[in-house]
Chains A and B, each alone.
Chain A
Amino acid sequence: MANKISDETIEYVGILAKLELSGQEKEDAKADMEKMLDYIDTLNELDTEGIEPMSHVFPVHNVFREDVVVNGDGSEDTLANAPLKKDQSFKVPKTIG
């Protein structure tokens, strides 16, 4: 089955992925994704009825610990790589009108 990715879908995926694609990039991405999905569709040959999705190879369970503070004030480290900062905060463009 040949997958067809519409302009709307690629636009929507671009929003989810937070990527701004040029006209040519969008066309390339459509073609790429169609090819990949055709290939991924081979998985449909497999009967996976009743098989639990395996997100981890080993049984993992929550790791609990006592809620004890072990680190100090890390604000300087946290901000050390910020492209822009102001008053001990990350500086970002205005988000509320």
Chain B
Amino acid sequence: MDITSLTAVELGKKIKAKEISVMDAVKASIAQIEKVEKDVHSFVTVDKEGALKRAEEVQKQIDDGILTGPLAGVPVAIKDNMCTKGMLTTCSSKILENFRPTFTSEAVLNLEKAGAVIIGKTNMDEFAMGSTTETSYYGATKNPWNLEHVPGGSSGGSCAAVAAEECPYALGSDTGGSIRQPSSFCGVVGIKPTYGTVSRYGLVAYGSSLDQIGPIAKDVTDCATILETIASYDTKDSTSIARETYNFTSALKNDVKGMKIGIPRSYFGDGLDAEVREPILNAVKVLEEKGAIVEEFDLNLVKYAIPAYYVIASAEASSNLARFDGVKYGYRTETYEGLHNMYKKTRSEGFGPEVKRRIMLGSFVLSSGYYDAYYLKALRTKALIKQEFDRAFEKYDVIIAPAAPTTAPEIGKSLSDPIQMYLGDIYTISVNLAGLPGITIPVGKDTKGLPVGMQIIGNCFEENKIIRAAYTFEQTKTYERPEIAKEAR
């Protein structure tokens, strides 16, 4: 049996039924990593020894009846911006090249309690700043569907690892689309939960008011199951929200009868590649045939989301990244004269160009004399964008949108023009500004054979509606695997 082709929940069931041992599951992932990693480069760190050791412990706990959950014994990859005790956590930056956290992030801890086996840490854009995973200090990740193309970003390593079947599922983080866009480019499923649903404790902060951790997997069932496991109210995260329910798997129903779906006209107009538009509208048609009520509407202020986002995210980043100064952890420059010179040299040598660009912009918009004109203006714009979504959700249960204007671009084509690259975030970014949940599911492929994803956006705390819509569509289509995942070992 081909273990790596299984979903996380399927694998968990077989482990529970003693058809597959945890050791075999872990070894299958490692074998696939050893086979494809030189081409795909999804990982910054692969913890082979740790995973094999942990496999034995988890198997024992399953045998003893201590671990009984659906993810017990299933290997997982973690984006390299979540702290894992004793395991390198680099944020794909030189400045954290030697950082081994002394604690584990809450979301990962929740997985460990459920019996997950961490196989390694995945590549990302440096400090999650980017849309292609090309800004990683440790080299770019390739798209498993076509190695000449990017996997998207910033959770590109996590999405590529799942698509190439190096692990059954992974965790990513999403500040402006960093789970949903690479999931679209890699043909996998990813959820960005409502802000405050998954604890950010131990997630290295980029834009604190926007960051959320979420699951990336091969199907909606996996994502709902993983979200149910990682979501929790955590007093260590002051923005954590105590939700009424953390049950997401009950939404896995093949039924959209009467569900009201809004299609924002501005999301399907100019700027959207026809090869992306068509499969999404076909998927919408499928949902309509299954009983959903579909209606086009005008979502205003769309073009203001990106400038508002870059002001807010850069401002928060400039503040959050002030902690990397060569004193407490990470890289420190070799030679320096005095404290300030040490700070400056350490940071200038430790950060890459995109990170520096955003720290500079963030420092500027927060500086005296510009704070009102830029930062507060952006926060006011955010309030207006939130109102637009509030109005839309008075009429619709979910909103359907693309996750990106095109399929995955070729490697090396995106970084030269930052604004052009930022424009690629147009369909995902407002969701973060408004704190909403969103899911991306694969709906087809373009003529080059690259995956197209569809984004389903819900109102705050209404993950269950987007999960139900996504699950219902998924029942009409089989999951497609890239060749690199299928090749016999």
Contact = CB atoms under 8 A, between A and B. Distances in A.
A42 B434 CA distance: 20
A94 to B, nearest CB: 7
A46 B304 contact: yes
A84 B325 CA distance: 12
A63 B238 contact: yes
B336 A82 contact: no
B367 A12 contact: yes
B339 A92 contact: yes
Contacts, number: 162
B418 A57 contact: no
Interface in A1-45: 9, 12-14, 16-21, 25, 29, 32-33, 35-37, 39-45
A80 interface: yes
B235 interface: yes
B190 interface: no
> A18, A37, A43, A78 — which one has the most chain B CB atoms within 10 A of its CB?
A18
Contacts of B374: 37, 40
B377 A57 contact: no
A88 to B, nearest CB: 14
Interface residues of A, number: 49
Contacts of A40: 307, 310-311, 365, 374, 378
A37 B361 CA distance: 9
A73 to B, nearest CB: 13
Contacts of B341: 93
Contacts of B360: 13-14, 17, 19, 29, 32-33
A16 B367 contact: yes
Contacts of A32: 357, 360-361, 418
B423 to A, nearest CB: 9
B435 interface: yes
A54 B382 contact: yes
Contact of A58 (B196, B235, B364): B196
B345 A20 contact: yes
B259 to A, nearest CB: 24
B266 interface: no
Contacts of B100: 80-81
Interface in B356-378: 356-357, 359-367, 374, 376-378
Contact of A16 (B325, B331, B363, B460): B363
> A39, A46, A52 — which one has the most chain B CB atoms within 10 A of its CB?
A46
B303 interface: yes
Contacts of A33: 360-361, 364
B286 interface: no
Given A13-B364, A16-B364, A32-B360, 18 more contacts: A12-B367, A18-B340, A18-B344, A20-B347, A29-B357, A36-B418, A37-B374, A42-B303, A43-B377, A44-B377, A46-B304, A46-B380, A46-B384, A48-B384, A58-B195, A80-B102, A90-B327, A92-B339
13 contacts: A13-B360, A17-B318, A17-B363, A36-B418, A40-B307, A43-B304, A43-B308, A57-B433, A58-B435, A82-B328, A83-B331, A84-B332, A93-B337
Interface of A: 9, 12-14, 16-21, 25, 29, 32-33, 35-37, 39-46, 48, 51-58, 60, 63, 65, 77-78, 80-84, 90, 92-95
